[in-house]
Amino acid sequence: MEVTAPGRTTDWSIQEVARLAGTTSRTLRHYDAVGLLAPTRVASNGYRHYDADALVRLQRILLLRDLGLGLPAIKAALDGPGDRAPSGTEDGSSQVRALRGHLEWLRAERQRLARQIASVERTITTMEGGGELMAKDMFDGFDHTQYREEVEDRWGKDAYARGDAWWRGMSDDERSAWKERTARLNDDWAAAAQAGVDPASDEAQELARRHVSWLQAVPANPAHEAGPLAGYLLGLGEMYVNDPRFALNYGGVEGATFVRDALRVYVDRVL
- Co-location of 162 and 248 in the same domain: yes
Listed residues 63, 90, 117: the one ending a domain: 90
- Please state, as a whole number, how many other Cβ atoms lie within 10 Å of the Cβ of residue 239: 15
**pTM as predicted:** 0.49
Q: In angstroms, rounded to a whole number, what is the distance separating the alpha carbons of residues 97 and 82?
A: 10
- What does the buried/exposed string (b/e) look like for 83-118 if buried means 16 or more CB atoms within 10 Å of the residue's CB? beeeeeebeeebbeebeeebeeeeeeeeeeeeeeee
User: pLDDT tens across 48-107, in order?
Assistant: 999 988 998 898 888 777 766 678 878 877 876 544 443 344 556 667 777 776 677 667
The answer to the question of residue 128 being in a domain is no
Work out whether strand 48-51 and strand 11-13 pair parallel, antiparallel, or are unpaired: antiparallel
266 in Cβ contact with 212 (< 8 Å): yes
- Co-location of 66 and 165 in the same domain: no
- Co-location of 53 and 154 in the same domain: no
Q: What is the pLDDT of residue 194?
A: 87
Handedness of CA 48, 54, 60, 64 (dihedral sign): negative
Look at residues 260, 254, 222, 225 and name the one whose alpha carbon lies nearest to residue 239: 260
Give the C-alpha distances (Å, rounded to integers) separating 174 from 118, 144, 185, 198, 211: 29, 16, 16, 33, 18
Average pLDDT of 172-179? 83
Average pLDDT of 121-125? 77
The answer to the question of residue 113 being in a domain is no
Which residue type occupies 139?
F
213: domain range?
A: 148-270
The answer to the question of residue 77 being in a domain is yes
Average pLDDT of 107-117? 69
Number of folded domains that form the chain:
2
Residue 54's domain is classified under what CATH number?
A: 1.10.1660.10
User: pLDDT tens across 240-250, in order?
Assistant: 888 877 888 88
- Co-location of 73 and 169 in the same domain: no
User: pLDDT tens across 30-50, in order?
Assistant: 999 999 999 999 999 999 999
